[in-house]
């Protein structure tokens, strides 16, 4: 028994040393107040307020625009060509592409001697036919008097009447020949029918022209082969195609803007860009749809003089939809979308908390969207900072300078 107690005695000091080490470690640690506070906030449902920008829901005048693209064409374009083959003997040396021309001005013509001679011959034939008709009518009246006096027979009078009818037919035929001669003269000359600008000139003096060279299967070929083209540079039209669902929202007389950028905020044309835009108006709306594209055609006419457009220029067109005055609207950045439904975060001024609310959307105009249901005038919705928000969270509303207003 004495030998057993002696062997277990050294274990007691070792156990005592271990207990002292554990006591020392526990005495050096301090409580983590930050972690306990955060845990307490999480247990109580509190989070730090999120700084946000808000905007008040107010009535606005919304003007939406429909966008499309089209080609600007002069509203009056005159393709001039010769109808008969022949040598081009005259081209106005003072004219070149871009030169102004007057109505009735001769641009070029083929050999004039032949057609002028034919015209003079037709005039002489008409004069002779009219003289013969006058003589036949005098003869008829004389025989009518002689028949009344019983000095001539009815057969002689009938022959006089027939001669008058024959002379009248010859006179009418001479008139037709004169008209044809005048037409030949006109067709041998390129004459501007309007006051405008010479847009194309594809003939030269001394070259032989044949009508078969003119190709009209495409506009590009026509512009390349037609002898001359005169346009009105002050009045243009643009034809655009719009989808079928816009048909009831486009009306004749609606405003249009021709340019690369839309009107600012869907309302007014940006003053800085106004000089690069052209005002227009809807002239016509096609009542039928293209069966292949399911689109309808809209014709826009420019307004004012010197629209600064080129014939054939590809342009962007913005067409005004019916205006909506005094409708509640919010900026696009205030909207959230989930499962095809729109929501906004409304800030309660008393509690400074943001509440998610579902809204019904209306027309979009620029950066704003009409609200048909779900908001009232004067309520504040979050525009910046909404990505970090959830329903019921406390917010810190910033002013224009980034501080609490």
Q: Which pLDDT belongs to residue 275?
A: 55
The answer to whether the CB of 350 falls within 8 A of the CB of 364 is no
∠ CA 293-296-301, rounded to 5°: 135
Q: Is the pLDDT of residue 22 over 70?
A: no
Percent of the residues in the chain that have a pLDDT greater than 70, as a whole number: 83
191 has a pLDDT exceeding 50? yes
Question: What was the pLDDT predicted at 198?
Answer: 95
Tell me the per-residue pLDDT of 379-398, one tens digit each, with 9 for 90 and over: 999 998 777 788 888 888 88
Across the range 164-191, mean pLDDT stands at 89
| CA-wise closest residue to 83 among 169, 162, 183 | 183
- Whether 26 has a pLDDT exceeding 50, the answer reads no
Counted residue by residue, the chain has a size of 405
Mean pLDDT of 18-31: 44
Least confident of 2-11, 119-128, 279-288: 2-11
Least confident of 146-160, 185-199, 254-268: 254-268
Q: What's the pLDDT at 244? A: 94
> What are the tens digits of pLDDT across the range 337-385?
988 899 999 999 889 899 999 999 988 877 888 999 999 999 999 998 7
**Taking a C-beta distance cutoff of 8 angstroms, is the pair 192, 107 a contact?**
yes
pTM for the predicted model, two decimal places:
0.62
pLDDT at 2: 40
Cβ neighbors of 390 (< 8 A, separation 6 or more) are 356
Contact 56, 221 (CB under 8 A): no
Write out pLDDT tens, residues 289-323.
999 999 999 999 999 877 888 999 999 999 988 88
What is the pLDDT, as a whole number, of residue 261?
Answer: 67
pLDDT in tens, 67-108: 999 999 999 999 999 988 888 989 999 999 999 999 999 999
pLDDT at 262: 62
How far apart, in whole angstroms, are the C-alpha atoms of residue 45 and residue 124?
112
Residue 128 host element (H or E): helix 112-148
Query: Going from the N-terminus, what domains does the chain have, and what CATH number goes with each?
Result: 50-61+325-397 (2.40.420.20), 65-74+235-322 (2.40.30.170), 88-230 (no CATH)
**Residue 136: pLDDT over 90:** yes
pLDDT at 276: 67
Residues of the chain with pLDDT > 90, as a percent, come to 50
Burial grade of 14 (CB within 10 A; 0-12, 13-18, 19 or more): exposed
Q: Supply the pLDDT for residue 306.
A: 75
What pLDDT score does 324 carry? Answer: 81
User: CA 83 to CA 210: how far, in whole Å?
Assistant: 8
Q: Which of the residue ranges 74-78, 200-204, 265-269 would you say has the lowest mean pLDDT?
A: 265-269
């Amino acid at each position: 028994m004495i030998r057993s107690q002696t062997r277990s005695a050294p274990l007691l000091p070792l156990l005592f040393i271990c207990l002292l080490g554990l006591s020392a470690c526990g005495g050096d640690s301090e409580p983590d107040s930050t972690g306990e506070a955060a845990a307490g906030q999480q247990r109580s449902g509190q989070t730090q307020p999120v700084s946000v920008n808000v905007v008040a829901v107010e009535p606005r005048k919304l003007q939406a625009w429909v966008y499309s693209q089209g080609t600007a064409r002069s509203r009056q374009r005159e393709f001039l060509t010769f109808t008969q083959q022949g040598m081009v003997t005259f081209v106005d040396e003072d004219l070149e592409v871009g030169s102004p021309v007057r109505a009735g001005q001769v641009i070029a013509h083929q050999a004039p001697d032949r057609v002028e001679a034919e015209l003079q011959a037709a005039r002489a034939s008409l004069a002779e036919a009219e003289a013969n008709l006058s003589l036949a009518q005098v003869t008829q009246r004389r025989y009518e008097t002689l028949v009344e006096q019983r000095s001539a027979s009815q057969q002689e009078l009938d022959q006089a009447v027939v001669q008058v009818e024959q002379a009248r037919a010859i006179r009418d035929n001479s008139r037709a020949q004169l008209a044809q001669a005048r037409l030949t003269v006109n067709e041998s000359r390129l004459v501007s029918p309007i006051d405008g600008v010479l847009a194309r000139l594809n003939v030269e003096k001394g070259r032989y022209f044949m009508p078969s060279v003119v190709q009209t299967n495409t506009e590009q070929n026509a512009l390349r082969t037609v002898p001359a083209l005169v346009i009105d540079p002050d009045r243009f039209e643009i034809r655009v195609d719009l989808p079928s669902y816009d048909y009831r929202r486009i009306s004749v007389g609606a405003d249009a803007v021709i340019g690369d950028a839309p009107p600012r905020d869907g309302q007014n044309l940006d003053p800085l860009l106004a000089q690069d835009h052209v005002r227009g108006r809807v002239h016509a709306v096609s009542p039928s749809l293209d069966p292949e594209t399911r689109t309808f055609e809209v014709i826009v006419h420019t307004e004012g003089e010197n629209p600064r457009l080129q014939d054939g220029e590809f342009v962007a067109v913005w067409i005004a939809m019916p205006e909506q005055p005094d409708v509640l609207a919010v900026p696009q950045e205030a909207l959230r979308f989930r499962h095809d439904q729109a929501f906004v975060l409304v800030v309660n001024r008393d509690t400074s908390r943001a509440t998610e609310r579902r809204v019904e959307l209306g027309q979009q105009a620029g950066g704003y969207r009409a609200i048909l249901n779900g908001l009232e005038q004067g309520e504040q919705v979050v525009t910046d900072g909404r990505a970090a928000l959830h329903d019921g969270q406390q917010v810190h509303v910033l002013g224009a300078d980034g501080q609490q207003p």
